Structure 1
Amino acid sequence: MKYLLVHQDEDDQEEFWGRCAGVEGMFVDKMPPPREVLTLRGCDPDGLLRDALMPNEESTALLGDVCVEVWDEEQPLQWWSLLDCVVITHQPNRDDPTLVDIVVGAGVEEEHAWSRTLPTPPRFKLFAGPTRTPASAGHCLAVDGLFVTRGAPARTPMRLVGCEPAEPLLAVLRRPRRWDRDWVGLWALDRTGRVMYRHNVYLRVETARPSVLGGSLLDIKLTDGGKDRPSLLARPIWETWWRGVPATRNRWAPLSAEGRSEWLDLTATGMSEQGPDRSGGVHHLDGTYVTDVPGLHCAMAEALAGPGGYYGREWNAFKDCLHGGFGVAAPFTLIWRDADVARQALADDIWDTEKGLTYFEEIVQILESFGVAVALR
């Protein structure tokens, strides 16, 4: 059995609901939203957007992801993402020639099911750029085509194969309306029985039939396996971890940035297994393969918590770990070998736009602020 089915009530009490031999549909690539044409009406462009209207040898019409914030007089009330935004054309605004109407193509992603009620008058602020804190791209008076009804994304089903349900799950299956609001945690186990990943899914049961594996087992089809499932490229990574927590360093090194992020997700399951904090001592970080942000955190975790260990997946989580509770607490010494690999690879990844610090520089600064002696070699 590779999966446990565990229900957690409002008091965080866990109850065993069953187990199954496999799950078909655990790995799913997120489908991008369909492309749309929108008009940024009455724009005063800035930054990348301004450069896109006056292209030179360095600027292009490709804006990447653009954040649209809807403001009242004081604060943002709504925000939307225009994914892979491209400038198609532009022309002077009819009512105010000092402003410009910009036609763009993008996939529109709602950050929330916003109401269509707008403040009076609304202000639309635009942000774009490759940094983690996108820079201002100007503002506009309206965004034609933004506030339309979009269909819900297609559901991707999930099948629990070879399921041995316990009584609470059997009770759900006996209901006339099986797809009520019950949810269950799918806990993926490695071959030693250790939990290596947790995924929550609502039990919207479409069918429950005798299993292809025979006996009294069931195959249960769920109408939707839920959001935030691992991507398809995570499947071979899971196979590596299924054999047990990696015992050697740099097993993540051949992976892409996306694969390294999936690797970090698996380390996070063991964040409560780090043991009591220890401080002092010298830790060695192998910077040979730190060519992206996920790679930095893979190498950092190995330096501080060992192969397969957890020490944050991104900036905020890393800072939380430095406060203690994850096996290693400051002060200590970190010797970062081949630090120039990360320095050069992340030179364009600006984290602090006010200070102009790259992600690499920001991580070093955080370490030093916690009393870590960092030696860049």
Structure 2
Amino acid sequence: MEATGEREECRYSLTGDDDEDTPWGFAHDCTGLFTPLKDDHRLVDLRGCAPEGGLLAAVDRVGGRDACAGNAYLTLLDAAGATMGSYFVGGVTVTAVKPSALGKGLFDVTVRLWCQNAFPGSAGVWELIRTRQLNRNGLWRSVGPAGRLAWLSVAMLSRGYRHRTDNGDRAPGHVFRLDGRQVIDVDSFYCALGEAVDGPGGYFGWNLDALDDCLGGGWGASPPFTLEWQHSEVARTRLVRQRSLHQGTATLFEVLLEIFADHGVEVVLK
């Protein structure tokens, strides 16, 4: 098979993990990536695809053992073709191929693959970034409980793209303001904290280990700084799950305060 389709306006690319400079193909659309099957496998349709490299070789062998192209990175592209973020996908295996209605020389390629962190609900967040509509605070509050983990994952994966022209962390001593009324569970805490530190769609951790890493610098803020936690009593009543500490157990709220203190962050509870 020879792929002759153009790459203009392609929103996805696939690249083998052993050589990121050699693309496996570009696609106008992609469905199924954020719909996990059993054990994080997914059946993904690359629509309007121009197969190259390893993917093209696998397409030519569909139905046989060699239809597995191997491991790759599935990358989301903006309107100019720049990388917004990528997912590692394992065992990319072509299961079907047909000519595409999206253009001459293009194909709709169905692949089975494994991906661990492409959470349901992520597609809408990526579209906000691609269309430059992730431009004001509070948008994450509309996604609901099931969508907050997806929001956080996209915030982490897209941070390099969204801050590609930034100059790094805020200067030490900066005051960040966190609204405790937005904290209704642990994921909403991280969504609100990311936004407080890093702006709309911001990321500053999505679990305790990730928060500890972010406090080491390079994610928008480097201690010492001040976190003014407004309506903190509201958050205190909701972050009550017990966590282990070296001296016993404590609520998540208390653990967070200790982590901030250990890194030289002054938390002002209001």
Using structure 1 for the length normalisation, give the TM-score.
Answer: 0.61
* 1:170 aligned partner, one-letter code: L
- Identity of aligned pairs, percent? 32
Structure 1 residue 28 corresponds to structure 2 residue 35: yes
Q: Mark the structure with the bigger radius of gyration.
A: 1
Structure 1 residue 279 corresponds to structure 2 residue 165: no
* 1:157 aligned partner, one-letter code: L
Q: Deviations over 1:235-267 (max 9, x none)?
A: 444433332262211111133232111101111
* Aligned mate of 1:265, from 146, 153, 158: 153
How far apart are 1:181 and its partner, in Å? 5.1
How far apart are 1:358 and its partner, in Å? 1.2
State the partner residue of 1:290.
183
The structure in which a higher percent of residues are strand is: 1
Distance 1:7 1:191, change over 3 A: same
2:34–2:120 contact (8 Å) kept in structure 1 = yes
State the partner residue of 1:93.
none
Between the aligned partners of 1:359 and 1:192, the Cα distance in structure 2 is 42
The structure in which a higher percent of residues are helix is: 2
How far apart are 1:183 and its partner, in Å? 2.0
SS at match of 1:27: coil
Between the aligned partners of 1:293 and 1:208, the Cα distance in structure 2 is 43
How far apart are 1:367 and its partner, in Å? 0.8
Distance 1:325 1:232, change over 3 A: closer
Between the aligned partners of 2:167 and 2:132, the Cα distance in structure 1 is 19
How far apart are 1:7 and its partner, in Å? 2.1
Q: Deviations over 1:278-323 (max 9, x none)?
A: 3222111122211111111111111111112221111101100111
Between the aligned partners of 2:46 and 2:220, the Cα distance in structure 1 is 36
Q: Deviations over 1:70-92 (max 9, x none)?
A: xxxxxxxxxxxxxxxxxxxxxxx
Using structure 2 for the length normalisation, give the TM-score.
Answer: 0.82
State the partner residue of 2:24.
17
Between the aligned partners of 2:222 and 2:248, the Cα distance in structure 1 is 27
How far apart are 1:355 and its partner, in Å? 2.9
How far apart are 1:325 and its partner, in Å? 2.1
Q: Deviations over 1:114-133 (max 9, x none)?
A: xxxxxxxxxxxxxxxxxxxx
State the partner residue of 1:216.
105
Distance 1:290 1:196, change over 3 A: farther
Q: Deviations over 1:40-77 (max 9, x none)?
A: xxxxxxxxxxxxxxxxxxxxxxxxxxxxxxxxxxxxxx
State the partner residue of 1:308.
201
1:164–1:218 contact (8 Å) kept in structure 2 = yes
Between the aligned partners of 1:155 and 1:309, the Cα distance in structure 2 is 29
1:336–1:374 contact (8 Å) kept in structure 2 = yes
Unaligned runs of 5+ in 1: 32-152
Distance 1:309 1:28, change over 3 A: same
How far apart are 1:155 and its partner, in Å? 5.6
* 2:249 aligned partner, one-letter code: G
The aligned runs of 1:49-88 (5 Å cut-off) are: none
2:216–2:222 contact (8 Å) kept in structure 1 = yes
Distance 1:154 1:226, change over 3 A: closer
State the partner residue of 1:251.
139
State how many pairs are aligned: 252
Unaligned runs of 5+ in 2: 1-9
* 1:174 aligned partner, one-letter code: D
State the partner residue of 1:206.
95
The aligned runs of 1:35-50 (5 Å cut-off) are: none
State the partner residue of 1:337.
230
SS at match of 2:128: helix
* 2:128 aligned partner, one-letter code: T
* 2:105 aligned partner, one-letter code: S
How far apart are 1:167 and its partner, in Å? 4.0
1:195–1:269 contact (8 Å) kept in structure 2 = no
* 1:367 aligned partner, one-letter code: F
